[in-house]
Amino acid sequence: MATSTEILEALADYQEQCNGNARLRRMQKDWTKRLHFRGTDTGDWFTMVVVEGEITAFSAGTEGVPDIVVHATSEDLCDMFWGDLNPSQKYLRGEILVKASPEDVMRLDAITMIIWPG
């Protein structure tokens, strides 16, 4: 079980990786979304704000009305943000639930694939 602090550390690294990736920034340049993440085992919530492909903010708790809501165990969230987990596989097995449009689900997966290919 990952703590809220561990997930926030993972989110900080995720922000650095995403914002520093030129290819990803180009691909997501027209993508502005507010995401909520929930650790299903801990009940912790996190908010991440993406503006034109750049992660501009993240925090614990829920802020604003989300465009995308992701439900996963705290361990999966942590591994996903560190790039140690392929979210597609978990999603296809129903272990990560995403409430979003198909395009946003695709974009979310694309982020992971671009910054951590394989």
Partner 1 sequence: MTQLRKAVGLPTVIATSSGLALATVSLTADVQIGLGMPGAAGWLAVLAAGLISVLASWCFAELVGMFPTAAGIKLFIEKAFGEKAALICATLYVGITVLIVGSESYVLAAVLHYAFPAVHQAWWVFGFLTLMALVNLRGIAITGIAQDVATYGMVLAIGGLAAWALLRPGAPPIPAPFELGTGFGFAQAVALGVFLYLGFEWVTPLAEEVTDFRLIPKGMLWSLAILAFVYGALHIGMMTMVPKEVLAGSSIPHVLFGEAAFGRVGLVAMAVVSALASITSFNAGLLTASRFLYAMARDWAAPRFLTRLHPDWATPWAAILTLYGLCTAMAAAVLTTGAFKLFIFLGAAIECMIFVVMALSVLRLRRTMPDLVRDFRVPGGTLVPWVVAVLYSVLFVLVFLPDPGRPAEHGAQLGALVTLLVVAAVVAAYVQWLVPVLRKKAAPAGGQKRRRRPGG
Binding site for partner 1 (CB under 8 A): 9-10, 13, 23, 26-29, 31, 34, 36, 62, 65-69, 78-79, 82-84, 86, 88-89, 91-94, 97-103, 105-107, 109-110, 113-114, 118
Q: Which is nearer to partner 1, 26 or 56 (CB)?
A: 26
Q: Name, in order, each residue with C-beta under 8 angstroms of 17's C-beta and a sequence gap of 6 or more.
A: 83, 115, 116
Q: Running DSSP on this structure, what letter comes out for residue 15? A: H
- Beta carbons within 10 angstroms of residue 63's beta carbon: 16
- Minimum distance between the CB of residue 36 and partner 1, rounded to whole angstroms? 6
- Minimum distance between the CB of residue 100 and partner 1, rounded to whole angstroms? 6
- Minimum distance between the CB of residue 32 and partner 1, rounded to whole angstroms? 11
Give CA–CA dist 71/98, Å, rounded: 6
From residue 97, give the alpha-carbon distance in Å to each of 17, 30, 39, 53, 100: 23, 24, 11, 22, 10
Q: Which is nearer to partner 1, 34 or 56 (CB)?
A: 34
- Minimum distance between the CB of residue 25 and partner 1, rounded to whole angstroms? 11
